[in-house]
Amino acid sequence: MPEAAPFIVVGSGASATVAASCLLDAGHRVLMLDSGDVDGRYAGLVPERPFDELRRTDAQQHRYLLGEDYEGIDLGNTGPLAQATAPRRFVFRRAMERLRSGGDSFAAIESLARGGLAEAWGAGAFPFTPHELRCAGLDPAEMAPHYEAVARLIGISGGNDDLAPWCGALSPLQPALAPDHNAAALLSTYARRKPRIEELGMRLGRPMLAVLSQPLGARRRANPMHGLDFWSNAGSSVFRPSVLLDDLKARPGFDYRPQVLVTRFDELEAGGVRVTGRDLQGGGSVEFLGERLILGAGALGSTRIALRSLDRHGQPVPFVCNEHAYIPSVRWGGLGKGAARHTYALAQLTAMLDPSGDQQHLVQAQFFSFTGMLLARLLKDSPLDYRDSLKIFQALATSFVILGVQHEDLPGAGKHLALRQAAAPEDDVLDIHWRPGATEQAAQRAAEKVFCKALRVLRCWPLRVIHPGAGASIHYAGTLPPSDEERPLTLDRSGRLRGTRNVYVCDGAGLAYLPAKGPTLTLMANARRIASRLIGSAR
Ligand SMILES: Cc1cc2nc3c(=O)[nH]c(=O)nc-3n(C[C@H](O)[C@H](O)[C@H](O)COP(=O)(O)OP(=O)(O)OC[C@H]3O[C@@H](n4cnc5c(N)ncnc54)[C@H](O)[C@@H]3O)c2cc1C
Q: What is the pLDDT of residues 92-107, one digit of tens each?
A: 999 999 999 988 789 9
Instruction: Residue 522: count other Cβ atoms within 10 Å of its Cβ.
Output: 28
Query: Where is pLDDT greater, at 293 or 394?
Result: 293
Query: Is 5 a residue whose pLDDT tops 80?
Result: yes
* pTM for the model: 0.96
Give the pLDDT confidence score for residue 214 in this predicted structure. Answer: 97
The DSSP annotation for 71-96 comes to TT---S-S-TTTT--GGGTHHHHHHH
Query: Is 408 a residue whose pLDDT tops 90?
Result: yes
Query: Is 78 a residue whose pLDDT tops 60?
Result: no
End-to-end distance of the chain based on CA atoms, in angstroms?
25
CA atoms lying within 13 Å on the CB side of residue 274 = 11
For residue 182, the SS3 value is helix
Calpha distance 193→164 (Å, rounded) = 19
Provide the pairing of β-strand 30-33 with 5-10: parallel
**Closest residue CA from atom 2 of ligand 1:** 121
Give the pLDDT confidence score for residue 80 in this predicted structure. Answer: 60
Compute, in angstroms, the gap from residue 89 CA to the centroid of ligand 1. 14
Give, to the nearest 10 degrees, the angle between helix 140-154 and helix 14-25. 90
Q: Is 406 in the pocket of ligand 1 (CB under 6 A)?
A: no
Compute, in angstroms, the gap from residue 120 CA to the centroid of ligand 1. 9
Q: What's the average model confidence in pLDDT over 342-365?
A: 96
Helix H or strand E segment including 65: helix 61-65
Burial 375-388 (b: 16+ CB within 10 A, else e): ebbbbeeeeeeeee
**Closest residue CA from atom 37 of ligand 1:** 297
Q: Which residues pair with 264 in a beta bridge?
A: 276
Name residues whose C-beta falls within 8 Å of residue 162's C-beta, 6 or more positions apart in sequence: 203, 204, 205
Give the pLDDT confidence score for residue 391 in this predicted structure. Answer: 82
Nearest in space to 367 (alpha carbons), one of 134, 219, 539, 187: 187
Query: Is 153 a residue whose pLDDT tops 90?
Result: yes
**Closest residue CA from atom 17 of ligand 1:** 118
Query: Is 295 a residue whose pLDDT tops 60?
Result: yes
Q: Is 351 in the pocket of ligand 1 (CB under 6 A)?
A: no
Phi, psi for residue 78 in degrees, rounded to 5: -65, 110
Query: Is 407 a residue whose pLDDT tops 80?
Result: yes
Q: Is 113 in the pocket of ligand 1 (CB under 6 A)?
A: yes
Calpha distance 508→199 (Å, rounded) = 35
The DSSP annotation for 104-170 comes to SS-------BTTGGGGS---B-PPPPHHHHHHHT--HHHHHHHHHHHHHHH-EEE--STTHHHH---
Structural domains of the chain, ranges and CATH numbers in brackets:
5-538 (3.50.50.60)
Furthest-apart CA pair in the chain: how many Å? 73
Give the pLDDT confidence score for residue 387 in this predicted structure. Answer: 83
Calpha distance 323→306 (Å, rounded) = 26
Q: Which residues pair with 502 in a beta bridge?
A: none
125 alpha carbon, distance to own chain's centre: 9
Nearest in space to 317 (alpha carbons), one of 470, 491, 517: 491
Q: Is 179 in the pocket of ligand 1 (CB under 6 A)?
A: no
Name residues whose C-beta falls within 8 Å of residue 217's C-beta, 6 or more positions apart in sequence: none
% of the chain residues with pLDDT over 90: 81
Give the pLDDT confidence score for residue 536 in this predicted structure. Answer: 75
Calpha distance 338→2 (Å, rounded) = 63
| Cβ atoms of residues 348 and 368 within 8 Å | yes
Query: Where is pLDDT greater, at 378 or 441?
Result: 441
Give the pLDDT confidence score for residue 392 in this predicted structure. Answer: 81
Which of these ranges, 48-57, 91-100, 277-286, 377-386, has the smallest mean pLDDT? Answer: 377-386
Q: Is 518 in the pocket of ligand 1 (CB under 6 A)?
A: yes
* Band of pLDDT at residue 24, cut at 50, 70 and 90: very high
| Cβ atoms of residues 489 and 458 within 8 Å | no
Q: Is 122 in the pocket of ligand 1 (CB under 6 A)?
A: yes
3-class secondary structure per residue, 261-324: EEEEEEECCCCCEEEEEEECCCCCEEEEEEEEEEECCCHHHHHHHHHHHCCCCCCCEECEECCE
Helix H or strand E segment including 477: strand 476-477
* Band of pLDDT at residue 539, cut at 50, 70 and 90: low
Calpha distance 131→146 (Å, rounded) = 17
Give the pLDDT confidence score for residue 431 in this predicted structure. Answer: 97
Q: From the CA of 13, give the closest atom in ligand 1.
A: 25
Calpha distance 508→527 (Å, rounded) = 9
| Cβ atoms of residues 244 and 115 within 8 Å | no
Give the pLDDT confidence score for residue 173 in this predicted structure. Answer: 82
Calpha distance 324→364 (Å, rounded) = 10
| Cβ atoms of residues 278 and 260 within 8 Å | yes
Calpha distance 526→507 (Å, rounded) = 8
Calpha distance 369→396 (Å, rounded) = 11
3-class secondary structure per residue, 164-198: HHHHCCCCCEEECCCCCHHHHHHHHHHHHCHHHHH
Query: Is 538 a residue whose pLDDT tops 70?
Result: no
**Structural Rg of the chain based on CA atoms:** 23
For residue 389, the SS3 value is helix
Q: What's the average model confidence in pLDDT over 279-302?
A: 97
C-alpha distances (whole Å) from 131 to each of 176, 361, 405, 436, 509 are 26, 10, 21, 21, 19
Q: What's the average model confidence in pLDDT over 276-290?
A: 96
Give the pLDDT confidence score for residue 369 in this predicted structure. Answer: 93
Q: What is the pLDDT of residues 434-490, one digit of tens each?
A: 999 999 999 999 999 999 999 999 999 999 999 999 999 999 999 999 999 999 999
Calpha distance 460→330 (Å, rounded) = 5
Averaged confidence pLDDT in the chain: 93
Query: Is 136 a residue whose pLDDT tops 80?
Result: yes
Give the pLDDT confidence score for residue 245 in this predicted structure. Answer: 98
Query: Is 381 a residue whose pLDDT tops 80?
Result: no
Calpha distance 316→413 (Å, rounded) = 11
Q: From the CA of 507, give the closest atom in ligand 1.
A: 26
Q: From the CA of 11, give the closest atom in ligand 1.
A: 34
Give the pLDDT confidence score for residue 73 in this predicted structure. Answer: 77
Helix H or strand E segment including 534: helix 520-538
> What is the helix, strand, coil percentage profile of the chain, to 5?
30, 25, 45
Q: From the CA of 522, give the closest atom in ligand 1.
A: 11
